[in-house]
Amino acid sequence: MKTLLLVVGSACVILPAVAQAQDTKPGAAVAAAVDAVVTVRSVNYQARTVSLQGPRGNVFTMKVPDEAQNLDQVYAGAKFNVHYLQSVAVFISPVGGEPAAGEVSTMELAEKGATPAGVIVNVKQIQARVEAIDHSERTVVLMGPQGNLVELAVDERVQRLNEVKAGDIVVVRYTEAVGMKMIKQ
């Protein structure tokens, strides 16, 4: 699970960087991490799905990537350590840019014959241009990557709104990372 530590470590580097950018431009970042042990309820080897039960009894089904080579070792009753990280950063781009959207995913899986394990990280980012802003009414009109306009009310908890101006690029970055490793019994 060195990769998960790398992911968490990267978040620890990225989030302060966003906070540092906040010193010059408005922005905020929020992150949450959860660790749990889940139990395998069933495995469908042909469909490559595993039904898991969380610590509170919730049951969910997970699709196993085709690249995973150790599904044959997973069985009903097996337990996995799961680490989940989720973060959202919203900030004004310090370098400007154009409205855009993108997504990047990465995956690291255990080698064939090793204990079933893996880490998947997915990052989605959208950039939108501030077309209009009404500071007194706390509303902003954003133009997205496809030219669509959306008017949003800005919550009272958002600080430094008075520094945002038409033409600024708003960046929203959403990151999800999940790491799992089977507990040898």
Predicted confidence (pLDDT) per residue in 5-29, tens digit: 444 444 444 444 444 444 578 888 8
pLDDT of amino acid 80 = 98
For residue 68 the two structure tokens come to 């995973």
The total of other beta-carbon atoms located within 10 Å of residue 173's CB is 18
Mean pLDDT score across all residues of the chain = 88
pLDDT of amino acid 23 = 53
26 near 91, Cβ under 8 Å?
Answer: yes
- Please give the share of the chain, as a percent, with pLDDT higher than 70: 88
pLDDT of amino acid 95 = 87
pLDDT tens per residue, range 145-178: 999 999 999 888 888 999 999 999 999 999 999 9
The total of other beta-carbon atoms located within 10 Å of residue 161's CB is 14
Q: Which residue has the tokens 């799992």?
A: 180
Whether the pTM exceeds 0.85: the reply is no
The residue-averaged pLDDT of 69-79 equals 97
182 near 82, Cβ under 8 Å?
Answer: no
pLDDT tens per residue, range 46-73: 999 999 999 999 999 999 999 999 999 9
- Please give the share of the chain, as a percent, with pLDDT higher than 90: 78
pLDDT above 60: residue 124: yes
pLDDT above 70: residue 132: yes
